Chain A
Amino acid sequence: METAHRKHPNYVLIWVYLAILTAIEIGVAFMSHLPKQIIIPALVFFAVWKALLVALYFMHLKFEPRKLLILAIIPLPLAAIFVLAAMSEHVW
């Protein structure tokens, strides 16, 4: 079976981005003078950014058919609903 061929993205550049973002993340985590209300969203933002880089470029989701992208994305809202529903126990 022949697999479709395409030009590869610059994987090393993505790796450099990931390494830099990890370094920034660690730096932010140890900035003890910053309030947690800033540190936690910043860390989550960097983690999501890194996860997106891996999913889009290393897992090639950016170049896959739209239907496969939907298949990959479907669990994410379900996961968010699960966490929010369970957390609502602490709210009510």
Chain B
Amino acid sequence: MAHATATVDMMHPPAPAERGLDVYNNKLGMWVFLASEVMFFTALIGSYIILRFGAPGPWAPPAKVLNVPVTAFNTFLLICSSVTMVKAYAAVADGETHFLRFRPFSGGLKFWMLATIIGGAMFVGVQAYEYTHLVHHGFLPSGAREGSEVAELVASGVVPAATIGLYGSTFYTMTGFHGFHVTCGVISMTYLYVTKALRGKYSRHDYRGVEVIGLYWHFVDLVWIILFTIVYLI
């Protein structure tokens, strides 16, 4: 009997349990992951800023090389997909897990989540179009392709020859990694949509998956807001 009491005593925690951050584990895990993602994108954006400051000559004017109007449209698309994502969150939090209701008209979780997936997929599609267009015009990760339109801009002095290679490599690295993140988001969200949302596994009592993927999605949007300004406008 004395032995049993000793064992129970040993099982007591050394200190009483404390409250954590007052959020559930999945959400905390996503925030910790996003904190690491901040450092990842800081490394990319920081490297870009440092290379641009320390470049041996003037930097290429973005509007001369890149298709800014197409990317502005893409930025708008991503902002739209961010609002559809948060509408999906609001819908499920209010218990509206339907697709569409017409009297009165209201979109539910399934509608807004599908709209987000379509928006994200369109963003990736437009980015793929942009890359194809840029490569076709001779803007490569290594600089300008000989005999191309961009090479002509370099030869005429509109685009500096000394920094076009740096610009190409940093541009494709940053936007490529961001595009990869959007693609991962679209795949994850499609998985949740098919396996959970369509099967009615989310309710106003438990919608953790929607909230957590939403955090990731908004973060990707936030990073693009910064990237668009730094890479395309400045």
B49 touches A (CB below 8 Å) = yes
B205 touches A (CB below 8 Å) = yes
Partner of B31, one of A19, A40, A71, A79: A71
Restricting to A1-44, which residues have a CB under 8 Å from any CB of B? Answer: 1-3, 5, 8, 11-12, 14-15, 18-19, 22, 25-26, 29-30, 39-40, 43-44
B15 touches A (CB below 8 Å) = no
Restricting to A45-92, which residues have a CB under 8 Å from any CB of B? Answer: 46-47, 50-51, 54-55, 57-59, 64-65, 67-68, 71-72, 74-76, 78-79, 82-83, 86-87, 89-90
A86: which B residues are within 8 A, CB to CB?
46-47, 50
B233 touches A (CB below 8 Å) = yes
Chain A binding site: helix, strand, loop or mixed by DSSP? helix
Question: Provided the pairs A8-B93, A86-B50 are in contact, do residues A55 and B222 lie with their beta carbons within 8 angstroms?
Answer: yes
Whether the Cβ atoms of A78 and B21 lie closer than 8 Å is no
Q: Which stretch from B34-42, B135-143, B152-160, B183-191 is at the chain A interface?
A: B34-42
Whether the Cβ atoms of A1 and B208 lie closer than 8 Å is yes
Q: List 30 A-B contacts (CB under 8 A).
A: A1-B206, A3-B93, A3-B206, A11-B87, A12-B83, A15-B79, A15-B80, A18-B79, A18-B82, A18-B83, A22-B76, A43-B229, A43-B234, A44-B229, A58-B86, A59-B215, A64-B23, A65-B23, A68-B23, A68-B28, A72-B31, A72-B34, A75-B36, A75-B39, A76-B38, A82-B42, A83-B45, A83-B46, A87-B53, A89-B50
Q: Which residues of A contact B (CB under 8 A)?
A: 1-3, 5, 8, 11-12, 14-15, 18-19, 22, 25-26, 29-30, 39-40, 43-44, 46-47, 50-51, 54-55, 57-59, 64-65, 67-68, 71-72, 74-76, 78-79, 82-83, 86-87, 89-90
